[in-house]
Structure 1
Amino acid sequence: MLSLDLHPIFRSNRDIDTALRTFIVRAAATGQTAVEIIPGKGSGKLRQRVITFLKQPQVRKLYASYELAPGNDGKIIVRL
């Protein structure tokens, strides 16, 4: 399963959006069935930012569903 770790870029809003968009588009184009995004546990702000990104109408068209990884709320599983 492909994964995107957001820890190295968590301070730059533009880099986060670009990384998420590129990652989701590339995963969908290559036929992945699921990917994981790792915002980490922390305060939950980065996780909420990822969820807000995933709820955007133009992004929503690219995936089937998302969920927090069972037993690890520092990972988000996106089903394509």
Structure 2
Amino acid sequence: MSKFTVDLHDSYTNSKAIEASLNDAFFYVYESKIKTLEIIHGKGSGQLKKRVLRYLNQSELKQKYHRVEKDSKNFGRTFVHFKY
């Protein structure tokens, strides 16, 4: 498997569920050595996307991935690329 997808649409109002979903997906991908994590946060007002980017900007997480790509064709998703 080269890509894993997590959809945050269902938990957009519950901050603990968002954090838990991101943690579970991030560490599952990292431990399974999957190359790409696709985070679907939706377009909306952009608040959920900002929250996702703040999460990914944590120093202990930044060491684990190679780069973050904001999809230029679909503003409602973000890719996290891992390099092992």
In structure 2, list runs of 5 or more residues that go unmatched: none
One-letter amino acid of the counterpart of residue 59, structure 1? L
1:27 aligned onto 2:29: yes
Distance 2:47 2:31 in 1: 29
Give the TM-score of the pair, scaled to structure 2.
0.90
Give the TM-score of the pair, scaled to structure 1.
0.94
Flag as ranges the 4+ runs of structure 1 deviating above 6 A: none
Greater strand content: 1
1:40 aligned to 32, 39, 42, which one? 42
Alignment of 1:1-80 (within 5 A): 1-80=3-82
Moved more, 58-67 or 6-15: 58-67
Distance 2:66 2:23 in 1: 15
In structure 1, list runs of 5 or more residues that go unmatched: none
Shift of 1:70: 2.7
Shift of 1:35: 1.4
CA RMSD of aligned residues (A): 0.8
Q: Percent identity?
A: 29
One-letter amino acid of the counterpart of residue 4, structure 1? V
